[in-house]
Structure 1
Amino acid sequence: MMLRPERQGDEAAIGAVTAAAFEGHPRSDGSEPKIIERLRAAGALTLSLVAEQEGEVVGHVAFSPVTFSGGERGWFGLGPIAVRPDVQGHGIGSRLVREGVRCLREGGARGCVLVGEPAYYRRFGFSAEHGLSTPGIPREYLLALPLNGPVPSGIVAFHPGFFGDAA
């Protein structure tokens, strides 16, 4: 298996992997493939990595800019992340997260935030121990990982593409 940046022609495979990974998930409304499409269309898909196995895309992770109520810049949101169901549990998602975080760090990003399961993302250094909030998200699921500097406090906003408005 190899990890690489998304390239032209991967869009349909990324959408299919994402749809399959989230199908029937209790915390999904099925919008994840559309989120990626809207981020891409808005030019907000800052980092898009795929996992490829035997020439097929089997995993994907997206990173896009986030904003803070205090105006801090250089932070990114992780997500959606997806691994094809038949290859889940083999470390593909972990590799995608680690590689994405490495790329962000090396690119000078200040940090990364996500909404997700604390027990899973803690292994990568993400924590809910910060002064951030996002309307409608319980604080324990809003996780942050500082990369170059401290975690700011205040309200974090994900790109409008997450909510159906990629303007």
Structure 2
Amino acid sequence: MTPDNIIIRNETEADITAIAALTEAAFASLEISNHTEQFIIAALRAAKVLTISLVAEADGIVVGHVAFSPVRIADGAAGWFGLGPVAVLPERQRQGIGTALIHEGLARLRALHAKGCCLVGHPAYYTRFGFRNVSGLFHAGVPPEVFFALSFDGCLPQGEVSFHEAFHAAA
């Protein structure tokens, strides 16, 4: 369910500056962040691997964004994507905007016949969407309790998950 007065839509070129600014603001106070999320989105966009890039708009202002891009899995499983970054302007957080963006993004992945989605994130938040820790599926250097997967077809791949090299962007 989308919060009142929020429109979820594909990003446009006109949104790029707003996406960068809101992403930077959303992660500014997060201690576990390297504060490179806005650069990651720009690098994913430049590499043309933003499979899904959605914005939440309220009264003509972009207040949230979510990105989905392909991941590689060591066992060769195809059709899997990574969720992230997802960001909402600090003053608009805890209003259901991030939840609406994620639900819409996952629905669009399913419509593309994706097999599943992975992410690194907070357990209390992402388990609400059906994400779970999967034994034998991991992202190097990330504690297993914060790495999650959601299978759309009931099949779970095994091995290391690699996000696009854009996730190493630093500026």
134, 145, 156: which is aligned to 2:161? 156
Long gaps (5+) in structure 1? none
Give the conservation status (yes or no) of the 8 Å contact 1:21–1:84: yes
10, 13, 16: which is aligned to 1:11? 16
Aligned to 1:117: 122
- Whether 1:81 and 2:86 are equivalent positions in the alignment is yes
Distance, in Å, in 2 between the alignment partners of 1:151 and 1:9 is 38
Long gaps (5+) in structure 2? 1-5
Q: How many residues align?
A: 165
Q: Which amino acid aligns with 1:2?
A: I
Distance, in Å, in 2 between the alignment partners of 1:71 and 1:6 is 30
Aligned to 2:26: 21
SS of 1:10's equivalent? Answer: helix
Distance, in Å, in 1 between the alignment partners of 2:134 and 2:80 is 17
Distance, in Å, in 2 between the alignment partners of 1:70 and 1:128 is 17
When the two chains are superposed, the root-mean-square deviation of aligned CA atoms in Å is 1.0
Q: Which amino acid aligns with 1:109?
A: A
1:151 CA drift (Å): 1.3
SS of 1:9's equivalent? Answer: helix
Aligned to 1:65: 70
SS of 2:67's equivalent? Answer: strand
1:40-99 deviations in Å (ceiling 9; x for gaps): 000011100000000000000000000011111100000000000011010000000100
Give the conservation status (yes or no) of the 8 Å contact 1:105–1:148: no
Runs of 4+ in 1 over 3 A off after TM superposition: none
1:106 CA drift (Å): 1.3
139, 142, 162: which is aligned to 2:144? 139
Q: Which amino acid aligns with 1:9?
A: A
Identity of aligned residues (%): 51
Distance, in Å, in 1 between the alignment partners of 2:130 and 2:124 is 11
Q: Normalised by the size of structure 1, how large is the TM-score?
A: 0.96
- Whether 1:128 and 2:96 are equivalent positions in the alignment is no
